[in-house]
Amino acid sequence: MADPLPGPTRFQGGPASAAAKITINPEWEVHPLDVHKMKTSGTEIFILDVRQQKEWDIARIDGALLIPLDQLPQRFAELESRRDKPIVVHCHHGVRSLRAAAWLRQAGFTQVKSMAGGIDAWSLLVDQTVCRY
C-alpha cells in the first residue's frame, strides 16, 4: 500500500512545558490537548492505538482500541462502522499513527487523523498517570 505521508511531526520531549511545543500538520494531525477536549466534551471520537501489545501493556489511553499497525490492513472490517466518523490514531510518538492514518484514508475512511506526539505527548500533557517508556 502506498504511503502519502505528510511531513514529520515535531515533538519537543522533556518537561511538560517543552512538550506543549508540538507542531502539527492540521490536515493530518490533531494535538493531544484537542483530543482530550473532544473526549471530555462528549464529542464523538474513536481512538485507535496502533502500537504493539507489549507497549499497550505498559501504557494506554482509556477507551482506545488496540490494532497493531502490522495487523491493520487485515482488520479494516472491524472499523467499518466508523468509516465516516472521527478516528484519532495514536502510537508511541506519532510516526506509525501517520502511516495508519494514510492507510485508512486510502481505504475510504474519511475523518482520520494522527495524534501528534503519540502517547508520550498524552502522558506529558494530558494524563501524567500514563506511564512513559
The catalytic residue positions are 91
Distance CA 97, CA 116 (A): 9
Q: Are 131 and 59 in contact (CB under 8 A)?
A: yes
Q: What is the pLDDT of residues 1-44, one digit of tens each?
A: 444 444 444 444 454 554 557 889 999 999 999 999 999 999 99
Domain 25-125 fold: Oxidized Rhodanese; domain 1 (3.40.250)
**HSE-up of residue 118 (Cα within 13 Å, Cβ side):** 26
Burial zone of 50 (CB within 10 Å; 0-12 exposed, 13-18 middle, 19+ buried)? buried
The pLDDT assigned to 16 comes to 52
Mean pLDDT of the chain: 89
- 3-state secondary structure labels for all residues of 87-116: EEEECCCCHHHHHHHHHHHHCCCCCEEEEC
**Looking at the DSSP assignment, which residues form a beta bridge with residue 114?**
29, 89
Q: Read off the pLDDT of each residue in 119-133 and give the average, rounded to a whole number.
A: 95
Q: Are 108 and 81 in contact (CB under 8 A)?
A: no
- Of 82, 105, 79, 86, the closest CA to residue 38 belongs to 86
Give the percent of the chain with pLDDT over 90: 82
